[in-house]
């Protein structure tokens, strides 16, 4: 049985560009996977084609099947976390064990205010 977890320091979910997101990744796996890495990414959600980009990764080389590792990413300037009716841009961290080792993820918000930018429909 695979168990992967992500814990962000102080439970902080809202960030400004350039800030650091840090925390601890930990896992219990039956055996060491071929790939164990943490990804910082954004993806679109909405009506159209799904787009996504992994902007940074940390590979946990030399990890044990049960282990915990600290992580730290400097957050990029863009794109901001944003939501409208047709599309949202969602930032997240995902710990992935491949193949077939499962994953764990957490969403974060990046913008100049630390709050998701809302694109409102004109009244």
Identify which of 18, 19, 17, 64 has the alpha carbon closest to the alpha carbon of residue 8: 19
Take residue 17 and report the two structure tokens written for it.
């560009």
Take residue 54 and report the two structure tokens written for it.
């992994």
88 touches another protein (CB under 8 A) = yes
Take residue 77 and report the two structure tokens written for it.
């300037």
What is the Cα–Cα distance from 75 to 117, expressed in whole angstroms?
Answer: 17
**Least Cβ distance, residue 17 to another protein (angstroms):** 20
Stretch binding another protein (CB under 8 A), from 19-27, 32-40, 47-55, 70-78: 47-55
Per rule CB under 8 A, count of chain residues that contact another protein: 15
Binding test (CB under 8 A) with another protein, winner from 10, 11, 31, 48: 48
99 touches another protein (CB under 8 A) = no
Is the Cβ of residue 118 or residue 122 nearer to another protein in the bound state?
118
Identify which of 23, 85, 91 has the alpha carbon closest to the alpha carbon of residue 58: 23
Q: Which chain residues interact with another protein by CB under 8 A?
A: 43, 45-50, 83-88, 90, 118
């Amino acid at each position: 049985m695979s168990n992967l977890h992500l814990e962000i320091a102080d439970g902080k979910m809202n960030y400004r560009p350039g800030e650091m997101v840090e925390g601890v990744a930990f896992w219990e796996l039956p055996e060491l996977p071929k790939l164990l890495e943490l990804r910082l990414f954004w993806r679109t959600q909405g009506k159209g084609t799904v787009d996504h980009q992994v902007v940074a990764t940390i590979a946990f080389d030399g990890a044990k099947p049960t282990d915990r590792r600290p992580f730290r990413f400097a957050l990029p300037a863009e794109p901001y976390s944003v939501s409208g009716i047709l599309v949202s841009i969602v930032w997240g961290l995902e710990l992935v064990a491949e193949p077939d080792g499962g994953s764990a993820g957490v969403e974060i918000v990046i913008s100049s205010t630390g709050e998701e930018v809302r694109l409102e429909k004109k009244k």
